[in-house]
């Protein structure tokens, strides 16, 4: 069954790049502009993996992760946060919010595919 | 598996340009005494976005600078650093550099690495001592949530930091449960934004095809109307239906055209900065007043008026406005005003650039024009003298200022405006100031034209080029056959026959039995002899070169109400051809 | 063995054929808007559902037959490179499929077109049919619509 991935990032070029990269590996990819749009989508559809940026208007990544974890469907789903701040501080915040893992920007398509495979093959 | 990153470049360029503009706009409008946290956030996110994307897509020139900006802004956000004017000025300089680098990437030119390195150092110096901009960890990881909370402060990673990602634990449900108010908070956050205008990004190509389709509908509608008029008996129902169709097509045309329209603020918002920078350099105090920035023009024209407007504004500050000392002597307010005013009048958008400076020095202009061989008569009206500064080969600046060059750009300004089917005119009062008025058509895809007939062919002349049309009397006509000059309204103008140019073998009607049109293009004013006028019409511009090639004397084609093809005349070229012919005739005659 | 489909058309007394893939549509001749100062074989342009299309009279260009315009005159609208161009012919007839191996070399002379534009000869329905490389002909300097620069940039294949 095709795995469904949600990418949340306020940058159109990043969204496009992630979409094209993951689609090339036959994943079903949806994109959202910010945390609020993502939350709306998650409440309507069930995604197998959520990849979210941190710095976004309206609702940031950490808040999104916390909100998702409060939903029964997303308690156990893999959620990875994208961040350019790879300080331990941000990683800590991510873990505290309930993220499954983290990925640093910039990343290249291969890395992205590797992470997706790792989370979705378990 | 390799993904071609190039396909994402244009989206990245578009969003990055927006971010650069936004950062500049916020910085210019910011008051360091009364900082708005949201402003800081917005600048941060813009810089952050550029940094992230640039690194991913390989535009590294942008990454370093935005990284430094980000580091400073993080401290400001956390109240660990207070933002002052030195910071904002340095940021503005950085943004200029970012724009330069951006342009270089877009045009495949070389990246100014040295400038980047220098600017990075400057930004780093703004950081409080002891704080280094965070090193980007090229890592990722999965959190390995330990069972005992003692080690929760250090994340143990499953994969090494070199791999740029990580998982917090072996992918088991985390025990973290956010308090229930959080979802509510999310919806509360969404409420304030519910009233913000929603918009979607649409590829300009899609809009352009829509514009073309509507253009076709306008043509089809014109054909229907024409057919209907030729019917002997028409039912009232049919008439009403046709009127209905016509009405709705016009509405749709307006709606579609308005999609391509953008407010002039897109262009105007950079000028406060331009004025500020030049005035500082020249040690003058100048205030820029902007009116009517909400006036909209076609997107295609927005990019093309930036250069001419910039030039006019720079000229105003540099040459128009007197030094502070001079103004004081003249009892004028020390702070000079440059006004940028836009408004719509009929089918045209007008943009006026005025200053309250010294006004144009008519005597000086005339002298310089004579020196450069542009005129040999002193018998010119003030307006004619001022228009001389728009002629190629003219210059009055006594010394070359690096701010606006030698004033040789004014003819380029005029050319730029004319390429948009627009006009530029000048008005000036000594000691009171000068106004440059630009008049631009609402859109480039459509032209308001006059249909004329010549040798049974219909041609269109853009209305902006027509001054007047009349039926001449015998006295006004040239008496000398080889030098066709016509005496009209106190002027002597060359007379060009469209017949000679387009249909030399056809029988030409006598001018007193046909029409003379007084035509003005940018550089030339002349009279055009045609057979008859057939009425005004708005025409959709169609390319001749798409399937054929450029035709001398014709700027484009259009489709007439009866479905046939009409030619839109290029009056500038006509004047040029006629001139060549005259020169050739003179050589033989 | 390569097979191609061709459309046959008549100019004067000769029958010619061109690659059907270049044909956009076929219409009766309708009035065109003449272009000032253009060669006589460029009749002008007409409106093809919004596109401005030049119409070339090959009969005039190559002096084959008489250039008449009546209810039987046909215009073949062609896709040439990225453009649409129409050619005036006396009539069009069948479409047929031929094998490359059946094409004989073109005659040295006696044919309206310059040899370089011809692909060969074939017998179709007992008629000697001359196969024209219509793309080469229409993009030629001879016809003069395409500039050499256009060809280099439009020639992607």
Question: C73-97: per-residue pLDDT in tens?
Answer: 999 999 988 889 999 999 998 898 8
pLDDT more than 90, % of chain B: 16
> Using CA atoms, how far apart are residues B436 and B546, in angstroms rounded to an integer?
36
* Residue B141, pLDDT above cutoff 80: no
B454, closest residue in chain C (CA to CA) = C36
Q: Are B565 and C51 an interchain contact pair (Cβ–Cβ within 8 Å)?
A: no
Topology of domain B446-588 in CATH is SH3 type barrels. (2.30.30)
Pick C52's closest partner by Cβ from B212, B457, B547. B547
| CATH number of the domain that residue C14 is part of | 2.40.50.180
| Pairing mode of beta strands C91-99, C127-132 | unpaired
> Using CA atoms, how far apart are residues A36 and B186, in angstroms rounded to an integer?
7
Are B165 and A91 within 8 A, CB to CB? no
Are A98 and B211 within 8 A, CB to CB? no
Q: Which residues contact C21 (CB under 8 A, 6 or more apart)?
A: C4, C5
The structure's pTM equals 0.49
Q: Are A109 and B167 an interchain contact pair (Cβ–Cβ within 8 Å)?
A: no
DSSP state of B131: -
Cis peptide before B38 (omega within 30 of 0): no
* Residue A52, pLDDT above cutoff 90: yes
Are B278 and B270 within 8 A, CB to CB? no
Q: What is the 3-state secondary structure (H, E, C) of B62-91?
A: HHHHHHHHHHHHHHHHCCCCCCCHHHHHHH
> Using CA atoms, how far apart are residues B304 and B417, in angstroms rounded to an integer?
8
Topology of domain B5-125 in CATH is 1.20.120
CA nearest neighbour of B20 among B91, B70, B95 = B95
**ipTM score of complex:** 0.83
Is it true that domain B265-441 has CATH number 3.30.565.10? Answer: yes
> Using CA atoms, how far apart are residues A101 and A80, in angstroms rounded to an integer?
5
Are B315 and B296 within 8 A, CB to CB? no
Range of the domain at C13: 3-154
> Given this model, what pLDDT does residue C76 score?
95
pLDDT category at B174 given cuts 50, 70, 90 is: very low
> Using CA atoms, how far apart are residues B95 and B66, in angstroms rounded to an integer?
9
* Residue B173, pLDDT above cutoff 60: no
Cα distances (Å, whole numbers) of residue B244 to B206, B225, B227, B248, B480? 27, 11, 16, 6, 56
A25, closest residue in chain B (CA to CA) = B1
Q: Are A101 and B49 an interchain contact pair (Cβ–Cβ within 8 Å)?
A: no
Candidates A51, A56, A102, A107, partner chain B, best to mutate (most B CBs within 10 A)? A102
Q: What is the number of domains present in chain C?
A: 1
In the three-class reduction of DSSP (H, G, I as helix; E, B as strand; rest coil), residue B309 is classed as helix
Q: Which residues contact A28 (CB under 8 A, 6 or more apart)?
A: A2, A3, A4, A5
C8-24 tens-digit pLDDT: 999 988 899 999 999 99
pLDDT category at B337 given cuts 50, 70, 90 is: very high
> Using CA atoms, how far apart are residues C146 and B546, in angstroms rounded to an integer?
11
| Mean local confidence (pLDDT), B434-459 | 85
Contacts with A109 from chain B: Cβ below 8 Å:
1-3, 5
| Mean local confidence (pLDDT), B61-86 | 87
C17-52 tens-digit pLDDT: 999 999 999 999 988 999 988 899 999 999 887 789
Task: Determine the Cα angle at C132 with ends C130 and C138, to 5°.
Answer: 150
pLDDT more than 70, % of chain B: 81
B558, closest residue in chain C (CA to CA) = C52
Ranking B135-149, B268-282, B484-498, C75-89 by mean pLDDT, the lowest is: B135-149
B397-407 tens-digit pLDDT: 444 444 444 44
Domains of chain A are 4-120 (3.40.50.2300)
> Using CA atoms, how far apart are residues B19 and B82, in angstroms rounded to an integer?
23
Q: Which CATH class is domain B205-260?
A: mainly alpha
> Given this model, what pLDDT does residue B392 score?
67
Cα distances (Å, whole numbers) of residue B406 to B353, B364, B395, B422? 19, 15, 6, 24
| More confidently predicted of B329 and B382 | B329
CA nearest neighbour of A32 among A64, A62, A77 = A64
Cα distances (Å, whole numbers) of residue A39 to A36, A50, B171, B452, C39? 5, 11, 21, 63, 67
| Mean local confidence (pLDDT), B217-246 | 78
CA B372 to chain centroid, in Å, comes to: 32
């Amino acid at each position: 069954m095709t795995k469904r991935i949600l990418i949340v990032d306020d940058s159109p070029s990043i969204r496009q790049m992630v979409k094209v990269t993951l689609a090339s590996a036959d994943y079903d990819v949806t994109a959202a502009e910010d945390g609020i749009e993502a939350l709306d989508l998650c409440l309507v559809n069930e995604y197998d993996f959520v990849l979210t940026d941190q710095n976004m208007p309206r609702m940031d990544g950490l808040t999104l992760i916390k909100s998702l974890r409060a939903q029964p469907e997303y308690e156990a789903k893999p959620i990875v946060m994208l961040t350019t701040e790879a300080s331990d501080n941000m990683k800590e915040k991510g873990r505290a919010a309930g993220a499954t893992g983290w990925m640093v920007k910039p990343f290249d398509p291969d890395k992205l595919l590797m992470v997706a495979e790792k989370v979705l093959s378990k | 598996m390799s993904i071609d990153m190039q396909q994402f470049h244009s989206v990245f360029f578009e969003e990055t340009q927006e971010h650069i503009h936004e950062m500049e706009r916020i910085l210019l409008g910011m008051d360091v005494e009364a900082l708005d946290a949201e402003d800081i956030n917005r600048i941060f996110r813009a810089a952050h976005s550029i940094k992230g994307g640039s690194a991913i897509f390989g535009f590294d020139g942008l990454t370093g600078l935005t990284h430094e900006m980000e580091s400073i802004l993080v401290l400001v956000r956390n109240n660990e650093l207070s933002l002052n004017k030195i910071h904002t000025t340095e940021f503005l300089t950085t943004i200029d550099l970012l724009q330069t680098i951006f342009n270089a990437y877009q045009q495949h030119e070389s990246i100014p690495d040295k400038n980047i390195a220098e600017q990075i150092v400057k930004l780093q110096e703004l950081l409080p001592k002891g704080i280094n901009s965070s090193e980007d960890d090229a890592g990722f990881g999965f959190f390995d949530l330990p069972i005992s909370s003692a080690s929760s402060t250090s994340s143990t990673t499953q994969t090494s930091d070199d791999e740029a990602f990580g998982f917090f634990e072996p992918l088991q449900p985390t025990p973290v449960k956010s308090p229930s108010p959080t979802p509510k908070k999310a919806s509360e956050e969404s409420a304030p934004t519910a009233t913000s205008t929603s918009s979607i990004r649409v590829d300009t190509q899609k809009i352009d095809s829509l514009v073309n389709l509507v253009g076709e509908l306008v043509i089809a509608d014109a054909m229907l109307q024409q057919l209907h008029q030729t019917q002997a008996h028409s039912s009232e129902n049919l008439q009403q239906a046709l009127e209905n169709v016509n009405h709705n097509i016009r509405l749709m045309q307006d709606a579609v055209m308005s999609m391509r329209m953008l407010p002039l603020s897109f262009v105007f918002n950079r000028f406060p900065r331009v004025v500020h920078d030049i005035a500082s350099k020249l040690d003058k105090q100048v205030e820029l007043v902007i009116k009517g920035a909400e006036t909209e023009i076609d997107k295609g024209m927005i990019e093309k008026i930036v250069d001419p407007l910039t030039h006019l504004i720079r000229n105003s500050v540099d040459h128009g406005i007197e030094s502070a000392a001079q103004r004081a002597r003249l009892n004028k307010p020390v702070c000079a005003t440059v006004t940028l005013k836009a408004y719509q009048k009929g089918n045209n958008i007008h943009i006026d650039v005025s200053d309250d400076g010294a006004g144009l020095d008519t005597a000086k202009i005339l002298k310089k024009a004579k020196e450069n061989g542009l005129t040999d008569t002193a018998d010119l009206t003030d307006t004619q003298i001022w228009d001389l500064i728009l002629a190629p080969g003219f210059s009055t600046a006594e010394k070359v200022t690096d701010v606006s060059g030698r004033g040789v750009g004014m003819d380029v300004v005029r050319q730029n405006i004319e390429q948009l089917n627009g006009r530029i005119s000048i008005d000036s009062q000594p000691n009171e100031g000068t106004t440059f008025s630009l008049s631009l058509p609402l859109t480039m895809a459509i032209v308001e034209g006059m249909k004329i007939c010549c040798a049974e062919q219909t041609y269109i002349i853009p209305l902006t080029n027509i001054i007047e049309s009349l039926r001449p009397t015998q006295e006004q006509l040239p008496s000398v056959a080889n030098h066709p000059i016509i005496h009209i309204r106190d002027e002597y103008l060359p007379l060009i026959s469209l017949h000679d140019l387009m249909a030399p073998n056809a029988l030409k009607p006598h001018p007193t039995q046909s029409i003379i049109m007084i035509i003005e293009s940018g550089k030339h004013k002349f009279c055009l002899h045609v057979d008859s006028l057939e009425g005004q019409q708005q025409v959709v511009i169609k390319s001749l070169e798409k399937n054929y090639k450029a035709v001398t004397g014709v700027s484009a084609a259009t489709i007439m109400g009866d479905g046939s093809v009409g030619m839109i005349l290029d009056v500038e070229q006509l004047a040029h051809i006629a001139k060549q012919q005259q020169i050739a005739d003179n050589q033989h005659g | 063995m390569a097979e191609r489909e061709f459309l046959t058309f008549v100019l004067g007394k000769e029958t010619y054929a061109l690659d059907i893939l270049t044909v956009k549509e076929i219409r009766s001749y309708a009035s065109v808007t003449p272009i000032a100062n253009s060669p006589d074989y460029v009749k002008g342009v007409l409106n093809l559902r919004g596109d401005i299309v030049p119409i070339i009279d090959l009969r005039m260009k190559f002096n084959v037959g008489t250039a008449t315009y009546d209810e039987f005159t046909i215009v073949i609208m062609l896709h040439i490179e990225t453009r649409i161009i129409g050619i005036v012919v006396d009539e069009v007839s069948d479409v047929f499929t031929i094998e490359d191996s059946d094409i004989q070399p073109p005659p040295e002379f006696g044919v309206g077109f310059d040899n370089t534009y011809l692909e060969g000869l074939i017998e179709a329905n007992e008629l000697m049919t001359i196969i024209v490389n219509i793309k080469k002909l229409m993009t030629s300097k001879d016809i003069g619509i395409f500039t050499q620069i256009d060809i280099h940039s439009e020639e992607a294949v």
